[in-house]
Amino acid sequence: MPSTAITPTRMVLNQQKARLRTASRGHKLLKDKRDELMRQFMDVVRKNRELRSRVEEGLTEAFSALTVASAVMSPEMLEQAILYPRQTVRLDMNLKNVMSVNVPVFEFETKTADTGDIFPYGFAQTSGELDDALSALSRVFEDMLELAQVEKQMQLMAEEIEKTRRRVNALEYVMIPQCEENIKYITMKLEENDRSSKVRMMKVKDMVLEKAHNYSV
């Protein structure tokens, strides 16, 4: 149904046609954006699945080794061995624009490049299983950061996809049909007015001819 407040004039008709063209272009651009977002979202979902699998395997390996270490070492000795870490990590976060979505990018840097610094203890009083646990945790740490980054990216992209989908639907099912209905209504009214004007003009012409020449059609 056309808007009840719309005025059937040629100016309004031109405005409605311009609005329809703009809405149609916007609808196409938003659909393209939504489709590309969906494609990239599925790539991120696959990457998330792979990372989660690697992280779960790495954490399982680390916790298994730590369980064995806890069995062969006393709680006091285990706590003392890992109480004062030698290696520290600095984490930086930047933003990357992906289809107008600002997603986080984590970058970390260790204090030293020496891989042996992950062991904050001497090897004489500790078990090899504790070494295995810390090595496994060190290997999985980068994957855990990347997993956190990817999951946040998934969340933000899903929100943007939903917003874009709502805009596409609003244009496709509300704004564009309404513009088309308004154009149809105004066009019909203008044609009716044109026909009425022609009839009136013909009537006036007949009246003038009849009065001037006593001529009747």
Residue-range domain boundaries for the chain: 10-208
Q: Which pLDDT does position 180 carry in this prediction?
A: 93
Q: What is the pLDDT of residue 103?
A: 87
Contacts for 58 with CB less than 8 Å, ≥ 6 apart: 136, 137, 139, 140, 143
- As to burial, measured by CB atoms within 10 angstroms (0-12 exposed, 13-18 middle, 19+ buried), residue 116 is exposed
Model confidence, pTM = 0.73
What tens digit of pLDDT does each residue of 29-42 get?
999 999 999 999 99
The CATH number of the structural domain formed by 10-208 is 1.10.287.3240
